[in-house]
Amino acid sequence: MGKLKLLHTSDWHLGRSLYGRKRYDEFSAFLEWLISTIEKEHIDALLVAGDIFDTSTPSNRAQSLYYRFLSKVSNSGCQHIVVIAGNHDSPSFLNAPQELLRALNVYVVGEGSENPEDELIVLKNEQDLPQAIVCAVPYLRDKDIRTVESGESFEDKHVKLALGLKKHYAAVCTMAEQKQSDFQKTGKTDVPIIAMGHLFTAGGKTVEGDGVRDLYIGSLAHLAMEAFPSSIDYLALGHLHVPQCVGKVDHLRYSGSPLPMGFGEAQQTKQVVVIEFDGKSPAIQELEVPCFQPLERIAGSLDEIHARIEQLKQAGSTAWLEIEYTGSDLIGNLKEILEEALADSAMEMRRIKNQRIIEKVLGAAKQNETLDDLNEHDVFDRCLDTFNIPPEDRKELISSYNEIVKNLLEEDRHAE
């Protein structure tokens, strides 16, 4: 087979904003860096494990970044690009230019299929010899893996989801194993099986404010490491933004997001993963992604906040800031004070949390809260509190509400 070098990345979330601030400059800088890295590292195949876009209806600018990137990579030394959809992506939108992109050696799998072969891609070199078998499993929606039955319990749904995910991987990998066996019979040994996925594994790490949505209702649908067939030589996962291995197994990995999606990821080292096969055992290398836009969290008293701002100014910082005031005094004009402190700097204040104000109105109107502070689940919790719903009635209501929200998020607006 010879050497094969792959690069694994995911969760670009092109088009995402940070508290109203557009981030196209960062996305563009990352994609240019990625093209340069692909050329420098002599990457043969690029694996993008879902959440290419932040919404199912990406802006024209986000689309332009994506297609320009694919065009540039296809003109580099990289022979193959495999893209799967994540839960933020529209399956039909990603699939629409599928045939056209194949001419650029770009393989796109936007949705799960009943036929496992639809998710199987054999990567071949210029001599038409197999280099790898890719099980390109996209984000699997409820309808792809679970049949709904009347009267089933909340727990029944969980078990069926986890079982559906496991069966799907087993079916695709069984077909990959058969192809691998066929290659071996013709003397093409050591053709690795690469699997891809966009899901939440059991024990996976997240951080506050990273925007990672629950994929399925409840944690039992988080897939255990044992659910992945042992024939997989490398598993390229997306969805979790913190780079990590699954169950401490080196070849089962999340690459993590290349940009911090929120201030909770501000101090996180971002990376892409390079995998080299020379034979069946992969050599794995983590490449650090540069920081294209620094984010900084500042918390403390007013004096402590001023001191930190002064330090950053002296260092010529261009950071975007999230500031949390935790002092004991009640300060009503905190925003004006901080804007004045930042007036002669290149820094931007993206969010302020005034803890004393919040505590003052807690239990009343929560005047300082905005939609930035709440998600759709927080809003529903407030409704339950307002109508004094007793605890024993909440589990079923919350379960039903979560299912409605998930169905709305998964609705493919591009489908007819």
Could you give the count of Cα atoms lying within 13 Å of 158 in the half-sphere of its Cβ?
Answer: 11
Q: Is the pLDDT of residue 279 over 80?
A: no
Could you give the count of Cα atoms lying within 13 Å of 112 in the half-sphere of its Cβ?
Answer: 21
The string of DSSP codes covering 301-331 is -HHHHHHHHHHHHHTT---EEEEEE--SS--
Span 385-395, average pLDDT: 75
Alpha carbon of 216 to those of 153, 224, 361, 412: distances in Å? 15, 14, 34, 17
Q: Is the pLDDT of residue 85 over 80?
A: yes
Amino acid at 104: L
pLDDT in tens, 306-337: 999 999 999 999 999 999 988 887 777 888 99
pLDDT in tens, 99-124: 999 988 999 999 888 898 999 999 99
Whole-number pLDDT of residue 395? 76
Domain with CATH 3.60.21.10 in the chain: 4-288
- Positive or negative: CA dihedral 238, 242, 246, 250: positive
Q: Is the pLDDT of residue 215 over 70?
A: no
Span 63-90, average pLDDT: 94
CATH architecture under which domain 298-410 falls = 2-Layer Sandwich (3.30)
Q: Which of 301, 276, 298, 299 is nearest to 286 (CA)?
A: 276
Span 155-167, average pLDDT: 81
How many helices and strands, by DSSP H and E, does the chain display?
11, 17
Reported as a pLDDT band with limits 50, 70 and 90, residue 396 is: confident
Domain with CATH 3.30.160.720 in the chain: 298-410
Vertex 227 angle, CA 153 and 139, to 5°: 75
Whole-number pLDDT of residue 77? 84
Q: What is the CA radius of gyration of the chain?
A: 23
Amino acid at 34: L
pLDDT in tens, 131-140: 999 999 999 8
Q: Which range, of 109-123, 161-175, 364-378, averages the lowest pLDDT?
A: 364-378
- For residue 27, list its beta bridge partners: none
Q: Output phi, psi for 349, to 5 deg.
A: -95, 115
Give the residue ranges of DSSP H helices in 57-214: 60-74, 91-95, 98-102, 142-145, 154-185
| Domain 4-288 of CATH type 3.60.21.10 | yes
Whole-number pLDDT of residue 365? 46
Alpha carbon of 20 to those of 23, 30, 73, 404, 411: distances in Å? 9, 20, 31, 26, 24
Q: Is the pLDDT of residue 268 over 50?
A: yes
pTM, entire model? 0.83
Percent of the chain with pLDDT over 70: 85
Vertex 282 angle, CA 48 and 47, to 5°: 10
